[in-house]
Amino acid sequence: MSEVKSIAVLTSGGDSQGMNAAVRAVVRSAIFHGLDVYAVQRGYYGLIHDDIRQMDLRSVGDIIQRGGTILQTARCKEMMTLEGQKKAADNLRKRGIDGLVVIGGDGSYQGSDKLSQLGIKTMALPGTIDNDISFTDFTIGFDTAVSIVVDAINKLRDTMSSHERASIVEVMGRHCGDIALYAGLASGAESILVPEIPFDLEDVALRMKENFEKGKRHSIVVLAEGVGNGEDIAKAITSRVEIDARLTVLGHIQRGGAPTHNDRILASRLADFAVRRLIEGDSGKACGVIKGELVATDIHTVVTTKKSFNMELYELASRLSQ
């Protein structure tokens, strides 16, 4: 018989498509297994300030297709302090909540790690469009964000071809270039600029010039925001070659909209997995998927390990961008 009788779920940090699908799966899986389940509003801020309510099956009806998070999310500096962490743990204990499922990115994982160290049974799910969490191939929201970027590039290609221009597309990714990499490869970008790989603007401009000389009527460069200011890069390219380069910054549109079926399925699998692991007595883990298989990795190991960059895909994109 499991010692876990009730669990709570929260979403933290930046929102990502599929968070609602994950919340839905946590609630319904917990109820299926006979647990009481609670929702924490506004992430760790709500946990510290005891903004917690009980959920039932209908609480998560009609949300699997919705972007954002019905639980809302907020940054919380208090959670970075030991006092705030203890207050969060005390609020869970006061309500008799035995376990907590955290859905979020790196900062959310760190909070989950701290609570685990204070004796709270925790499971963390990778909810971030950046795909920058280690020990999982993909994060919840990444597939949707890439799809949004690819759709935008498809539209930009139409107008760039009409005017024989170059399009510089800036996407999210301060420290991780996965959105730029996957979207660039999927959309046939000539150049992909990411924080993980050094680049030379002379080479980027030369490749663009050579492609136009070969008869191409447009050029697409995808850059992650972490490589530098997109406007400066567009101007630098224009100054090197006689090609009109226009910048498009996609910004927060990448976080919005209905999640793809891949993100809904990933969120549902991970959330149910997290609930079952808590029931089995596991704690202090980050749930992920590697080569299609569900895995649970020590949360402290995850937060202290940088995710490796996929050089194979990067080199493939380079070979195909002729």
Distance of CA 314 to CAs 53, 106, 145, 165, 185, Å?
A: 45, 24, 18, 24, 8
The predicted pLDDT at position 163 comes to 67
Distance of CA 134 to CAs 65, 139, 187, Å?
A: 26, 9, 25
User: Beta-carbon neighbour count of residue 117 at 10 Å?
Assistant: 14
Percent of the chain with pLDDT over 70: 99
Which of residues 241 and 11 earns the better pLDDT score? 11
Give the CA count within 13 Å in the CB-facing half-sphere of 50: 8
Mean pLDDT along residues 221-239: 92
What span, in angstroms and rounded, lies between the C-alpha atoms of 220 and 132?
Answer: 24
Q: What b/e sequence results for 85-94 when a residue is b if at least 16 CB atoms lie within 10 Å of its CB, and e otherwise?
A: bebbbebbee
Residue 25 has pLDDT above 60, yes or no: yes
Residues identified as active-site: 130
For residue 183, name the pLDDT band (cuts at 50, 70, 90).
very high
Torsion of CA 296, 298, 301, 306, to 10 degrees: 20
Mean pLDDT along residues 268-297: 97
Q: What b/e sequence results for 151-189 when a residue is b if at least 16 CB atoms lie within 10 Å of its CB, and e otherwise?
A: ebbeebbeebeeeebbbbbbbbbeebbbbbbbbbbbbeb
